[in-house]
Amino acid sequence: MNEKEILNTIKKFVEGDLDIMSFEKICKENADFRNYVKDYKNYFLKQNNYNLLDFLDKTSWKNADIQLEIQIIFHNFLTKNNIDHCYSDYYYNNSQKNVIELPSWLCDNAITYAEENIVEKAPENLNKTQRKKWIKEQIKKTFPYQKRPPSWVQGTEGWPQDKNGKFLTFMRQFDDGEMTVYLFINEDTNEIVTIQEYF
């Protein structure tokens, strides 16, 4: 890709004419694109030491909030390069919809699953109140916990699943030095699974 093609690709994504999964493929696999954008700095990249490529490679592309961040990053990229463009509100609206409906105790893989398999599949004949109630009930069934839900330090390790993809039941958590330990149980086999996250 030459410079004109790269900027046009970014513009199409920001304006909503290139879908997120196609843009992800380009960001991760096209060497010309990666070399062109690699030195760009943005405040969203702080946790990745302001390394755009590291962010693009490791972030959760299916997360609605992350999709909005990616759009903002490349919107700012176009602005910095004096490229005239419009700004699709699709990712903002999608992010706001899920922020309202998804509880804060879901970790990264749980959010992705809930967005794709619960929120997006909510019955269309429900009003807003009924929809929220339905989603809340489905989330509690899908991500069970014994007394209270987990309080994730980062949420990047993921809610464990059994071999069939069923999410395990959260039991409890405790701190051990600079580490938080989360205990889950497979209700079918009584197997205990441990997840660890560092502060």
> Looking at residue 121, what is its pLDDT?
86
Asked whether the beta carbons of 160 and 168 are under 8 A apart, the reply is yes
For the residues 2-6, what does the mean pLDDT come to? 95
Asked whether the beta carbons of 26 and 9 are under 8 A apart, the reply is yes
Q: Find, among 177, 47, 184, the residue nearest to 110 by Cα.
A: 184
Indicate if the pLDDT at residue 4 is higher than 80.
yes
Lowest mean pLDDT among 43-47, 48-52, 169-173: 43-47
Contacts of 144 (CB under 8 A, 6+ apart): 167, 169, 170, 187
> Looking at residue 22, what is its pLDDT?
96
Distances in whole angstroms, Cα of residue 66 to Cα of each of 44, 79, 112, 171: 10, 20, 11, 29
Question: What are the tens digits of pLDDT across the range 106-132?
Answer: 998 999 899 889 988 888 888 878 888
For the residues 32-48, what does the mean pLDDT come to? 84
Indicate if the pLDDT at residue 162 is higher than 90.
yes
At residue 145, what are phi and psi to the nearest 5 degrees? -145, 155
> The whole model's pTM is what?
0.54
> Looking at residue 48, what is its pLDDT?
65
